[in-house]
Amino acid sequence: MLGDILNSNARYLAQQLANLGIAHHYQTVVGDNPLRIQRAVAIACDRARLLIVTGGLGPTPDDLTMATLADFFDVPLVERPEAVADLEAKFARRGYALEPSSRRQALLPAAADILPNPVGTAPGVIWQPRAGLTVMTFPGVPKEMKAMWQTTAIGYLQANGWANGVIYSHSLKFWGIGEQRLAQQVAPLLAAANPTVAPYAGEHDVILRISAKADSIAEAKTLIAPVAEKIRAISGLYFYGQDDDTLAGVVGQLLSQRSQTLSVAESCTGGGLGQMITAVAGSSSYFWGGVISYDNRIKQHLLGVDEQVLMTEGAVSESVARAMAVGVRSSLGTDWGLSITGIAGPGGGSETKPVGLVYIGIASAAGIQVERCEFGADRDRDSIRQCSALTALNLLRLSLLKSKVTGR
């Protein structure tokens, strides 16, 4: 409640419930206060048949979940010998004795089933405190919560008739087109009921999410496929990938298909372009490396940029982007050379060269291309740098798509 923690548990559980086809209508967050926890539980029990609680199962005094739930449903807490044995074994493995504060974690509401914790100490429960109400408790630590969800909760829900059908989603990703314009292009599809199509603005890209409700994931995929096909046909080259695809991953696939190699020369991104490219496992098969030419001396000495050009046109110029791309391609001996030079800000801008002005160069056997971009209008340093690297990858993607798939 102080804003220290981003609630990633809620997001994870929402995704998991959607996958199981369990309708999920409310999330409530409440602090470590018995009265407020009980009020939140009272409201939840009135409107839901399944209550999932995370957090407050640990050994410290502010871990109140079990005691508060037992109190609310007027059931005693009972120390469970099997939970004590499990805690003792876990502490012994770490070379500690089980202290009273930690032993408290074995106190669980009478008649509740233990939800084992395979990675941490505190167990949870699966519990029917009333007819028609199931309560599940998990620790707040995401790794423990997820492990308990995967190893026990999913199976329990499936075996007890909760998981009826699935809601399955497939995302299509777009670069270089706004959310509104894309939504207009696919407008008729946005009105459909199953699958639904919803546009989202990503941080830099735009996403269309196709969601189908069906009896199985296979059936949902069958509903989704023709809609995805239609959208891809309408959106053309704006479409760059799907689901977990990244621009760097797509560029990597295109390079691999062509058995071609890449190097980069970075100024304002300072290594961020190389980092994105190498975030893809296996990128060493097509990415050889690059030069971070942050200082002009490095642009001259390692990339062969002409000192005269740096003086007359400045480091952020079409000529320098061109020379950097050509220089890194030739120096590293790769098929493609990709360069970025720009002003990331907050300082360093001028009237003719504002913050956010970025030149991107692409050199290959087919020639040299330089693109001038302005990213500064409402972006900060970090965002300008990210946008520069992603735009460079997208330009390379478009160049690769124009080049033939043949061996070198």
215 or 295: CB nearest a copy of itself: 295
CB of 307 to a copy of itself, least distance (A): 15
Rounded to whole angstroms, the maximal C-alpha distance in the chain is 83
Question: Phi, psi at residue 330, to the nearest 5°?
Answer: -75, -40
Neighbours of 377 (CB within 10 A): 8
- β-strands 287-292, 262-266 pairing: parallel
CB of 63 to a copy of itself, least distance (A): 12
174 contacts 180 by C-beta, under 8 angstroms? no
99 or 313: CB nearest a copy of itself: 99
DSSP 336-370: EEEEEEE--SSS---SSS-TTEEEEEEEETTEEEE
CB of 42 to a copy of itself, least distance (A): 10
112 or 358: CB nearest a copy of itself: 358
CA distance 124 to 152: 11
160, β-bridge pairs: none
CB of 403 to a copy of itself, least distance (A): 22
112 or 121: CB nearest a copy of itself: 121
217 contacts 251 by C-beta, under 8 angstroms? no
381 contacts 268 by C-beta, under 8 angstroms? no
222 or 284: CB nearest a copy of itself: 284
279 or 365: CB nearest a copy of itself: 279
CB of 47 to a copy of itself, least distance (A): 7
CB of 348 to a copy of itself, least distance (A): 8
112 or 315: CB nearest a copy of itself: 315
Residues 6+ apart with CB under 8 A from 323: 299, 303, 304, 305, 306, 309
| 8-state DSSP, 151 | I
3 state SS of 22: coil
36 or 75: CB nearest a copy of itself: 36
Strands (E), 58-111: 77-79, 107-109
CB of 98 to a copy of itself, least distance (A): 13
Neighbours of 108 (CB within 10 A): 25
112 or 321: CB nearest a copy of itself: 321
CB of 24 to a copy of itself, least distance (A): 6
Closest to 104 measured CA to CA, from 143, 136, 58, 142: 58
34 contacts 64 by C-beta, under 8 angstroms? yes
CB of 58 to a copy of itself, least distance (A): 10
3 or 81: CB nearest a copy of itself: 3
CB of 271 to a copy of itself, least distance (A): 3
Q: Calculate the alpha carbon distances from 146 to 90, 117, 142, 156, 201 in Å.
A: 19, 10, 6, 14, 28
| The Cα angle at residue 396 between residues 390 and 238, in degrees rounded to 5 | 70
CA distance 307 to 304: 9
- State the DSSP H helix or E strand holding residue 395, giving kind and residue range, or none if neither: helix 381-402
